[in-house]
Amino acid sequence: MTLPEDHPLRTGRTANSPLVSAYSGHRPRRLPVWFMRQAGRSLPEYRASRAGVAMLDSCLDPDLAAELTLQPVRRHGVDAAIFFSDIVVPMALLGVDVKIEPGVGPVFASPVRTLDDVARLRDLGPLDDERAAPVTAGVRAAVAALGDTPLIGFAGAPFTLAAYLVEGRASRDHLGARRLMHSDPAAWHALMSWAADVTGAFLQAQVRAGASAAQLFDSWAGSLSLTDYTQHVVPASARVLAGVRELGVRAVHFGVATGELLVAMRDAGADVMGVDYRVPLDEASWRLGGRTPLQGNVDPAMLAAPWEVLEAHVRDVVERGSVAPAHVVNLGHGVPPDTDPDVLTRVVELVHSL
For the annotated catalytic residues, the residue numbers are: 37, 41, 50, 86, 164
**Angle of the 175-183 helix axis to the 185-208 helix axis, nearest 10:** 120
Half-sphere CA count of 215, side-chain side, radius 13 A:
31
Q: Is the dihedral of CA 61, 254, 10, 244 positive or negative?
A: negative
Q: Please count the residues of the chain.
A: 354
Closest CA to 211 of 135, 156, 297, 296: 135
| Residue 107 · residue 75 · CB < 8 Å | no
Alpha-carbon distances, residue 199 vs 117, 132, 243 (angstroms): 18, 11, 10
Query: In angstroms, rounded to a whole number, what is the distance separating the alpha carbons of residues 24 and 271?
Result: 8
Query: In angstroms, rounded to a whole number, what is the distance separating the alpha carbons of residues 236 and 348?
Result: 35
Backbone angles phi, psi at 14, to 5 degrees: -120, -5
Cα angle for residues 133, 81, 344 (degrees, 5° grid) = 145
Chain center to CA of 32: 17
- Give, for 107, the enclosing helix (H) or strand (E): strand 105-108
Query: In angstroms, rounded to a whole number, what is the distance separating the alpha carbons of residues 99 and 87?
Result: 12
Greatest pairwise CA separation for the chain in angstroms: 57
- How many helices and strands, by DSSP H and E, does the chain display? 17, 9
